[in-house]
């Protein structure tokens, strides 16, 4: 197919953090993700690092939408800056949208940003692009990959994923959708490749249940479990809830999201 298409990584390629991808035709473009990178120990005075998207500002009117694949900081942390620079709708799944709302609200951008909710299995059209969302298993719930039909062909953007056949929430990656894409013919696969150069595989997060159960059973009294980034520990929370004793007595809270429940349990 004779059509011009450019795929430009603005961050996140060959590095951990500040994920941001531009998919562009001569007159239309999409942004995928808007993440930050945490500074190294020698970067004194630097709070965080964002992608360098200045090369796109001269054609910001071409941006048809901003799609965020999941809620981790390396994919969402720069959203306030990107939303200020590009007046385009932002698409995310329900959990990811909730996290984005908090970030945009803190920046005073809640009323100016056009947040749209999508779900795995849905599809949208933005200019010449048709985007299909498919579920991927990751260490945070509600992650999606993208099938982007462009004038030049089909691009598959995996998002961050894990091939976990026994995930904590019981919702594995949508292998059937990947097979369907393969049958159509894929122009380019843009894939998460973290640790791909290391032999072996990552075990299922289900193995955490046994470790929690062993620790909890040996605890003499009340158990307190905390995490520095609450949304990233959602799957761990599922494991904790399943292995806690008594099973129905647990409570989780967060600074960023409303507390889930409000009960505690007595010692023992």
Q: How many CB atoms lie within 10 A of CB 47?
A: 8
Report the 10 Å Cβ neighbour count for 175.
Answer: 11
Q: Residue 67 — very low, low, confident or very high, per pLDDT cuts 50/70/90?
A: very high
Q: What is the pLDDT of residue 246?
A: 55
Residue 261 above 80 pLDDT?
no
Residue 82 has pLDDT above 60, yes or no: yes
Q: Which domain holds residue 52?
A: 6-190
DSSP element (H, E) containing 189 = strand 188-190
pLDDT value of residue 245: 54
In terms of average pLDDT, the best of 151-165, 223-237, 244-258 is 151-165
Residue 195 located in a structural domain: no
Same structural domain, 139 and 22: yes
- Compare 23 and 16 and report the one with higher pLDDT: 23
User: Does residue 184 surpass a pLDDT of 80?
Assistant: yes
- 228 and 110 in a common domain: no
Answer whether residue 43 shows pLDDT above 60: yes
DSSP for 57-122 reads GGGGGGEEEEE----SHHHHTTHHHHHHH----EEE-HHHHHHHHHHHHHTT-TTT--EEE--TT-
Domain-embedded: residue 197 = no
Q: Is the pTM for the entire model greater than 0.85?
A: no
Same domain, 29 and 135: yes
Same-domain status, 134 and 169: yes
Structural domain total, the chain: 2
Same domain for 91 and 138, yes or no, is yes
Question: 28 near 59, Cβ under 8 Å?
Answer: no
Q: Taking 90 as the threshold, does the pLDDT of residue 15 lie above it?
A: no
Domain annotation covers residue 226: yes
Q: Are residues 91 and 160 in the same domain?
A: yes
Distance CA 180, CA 224 (A): 45
Q: Which residue, 87, 25, 77, is CA-closest to 49?
A: 77
Q: How confident is the model at residue 267 (pLDDT cuts 50, 70, 90)?
A: very low
Residue 157 lies in a domain: yes
Q: Which residues pair with 24 in a beta bridge?
A: 6, 29
Q: How many helices (H) and strands (E) does the chain have?
A: 6, 11
172-186 average pLDDT score:
95
Instruction: State the residue for tokens 């959203």.
Output: 79
Q: pLDDT tens for residues 88-138? A: 999 999 999 999 999 999 999 988 789 999 999 999 999 999 999 999 998
List of residues 6+ apart from 236 with CB closer than 8 A: 208, 225, 227
Residue 61 lies in a domain: yes
Q: What is the pLDDT of residue 1?
A: 55
* Greater model confidence, 258 or 178: 178
Q: What is the CATH number of the domain that holds 176?
A: 3.60.15.10
The answer on 45 and 11 residing in a single domain is yes
Neighbours of 26 (CB within 10 A): 12
- Establish if 39 belongs to a structural domain: yes
Distance CA 171, CA 190 (A): 22
The answer to whether residue 218 scores a pLDDT higher than 50 is: yes
Q: What is the mean pLDDT of the chain?
A: 84
Other CB atoms within 10 Å distance of the CB of residue 147: 20
Residue 73, pLDDT > 50, answer yes
The domain boundary, picked from 190, 225, 244, lies at 190
Query: What pLDDT does 228 receive?
Result: 52
Q: Which has more pLDDT, 1 or 181?
A: 181
Write b or e for each residue in 108-122: b if 16 or more Cβ atoms lie within 10 A of its Cβ, otherwise e.
ebeeebebeebebee
| Phi, psi (rounded to 5 degrees) for 91 | -115, 135
Angle at 90 between CA 87 and CA 92, to 5 degrees: 175
């Amino acid at each position: 197919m004779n059509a011009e298409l450019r795929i430009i990584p603005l961050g996140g390629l060959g590095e951990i953090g500040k994920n941001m991808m531009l998919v562009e035709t001569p007159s239309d473009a999409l942004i995928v993700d808007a993440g930050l990178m945490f500074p190294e120990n020698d970067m004194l005075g630097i709070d965080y690092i964002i992608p360098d998207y200045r090369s796109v500002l001269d054609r910001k009117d071409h941006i048809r939408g901003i799609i965020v694949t999941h809620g981790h900081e390396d994919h969402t942390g720069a959203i306030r800056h990107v939303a200020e620079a590009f007046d385009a709708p932002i698409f995310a799944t329900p959990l990811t949208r909730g996290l984005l709302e908090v970030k945009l609200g803190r920046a005073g951008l809640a009323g100016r940003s056009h947040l749209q909710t999508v779900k795995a299995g849905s599809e949208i059209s933005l200019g010449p692009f048709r985007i299909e969302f498919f579920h991927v298993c990751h260490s945070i719930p509600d992650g999606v990959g993208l099938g982007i039909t462009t004038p030049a062909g089909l691009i598959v953007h995996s998002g961050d994923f894990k091939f976990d056949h026994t995930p904590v929430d019981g919702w594995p990656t949508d292998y059937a959708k990947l097979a369907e894409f393969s049958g159509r013919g894929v122009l380019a696969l843009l894939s998460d490749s973290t640790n791909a150069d290391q032999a072996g595989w990552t075990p299922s997060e289900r193995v955490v249940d046994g470790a929690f159960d062993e620790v909890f059973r040996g605890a003499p009294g009340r158990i307190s479990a905390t995490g520095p980034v609450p949304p990233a520990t959602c799957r761990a929370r599922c494991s904790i809830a399943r292995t806690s004793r008594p099973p129905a007595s647990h409570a989780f809270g967060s600074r960023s999201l409303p507390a889930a429940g409000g009960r505690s349990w007595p010692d023992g």
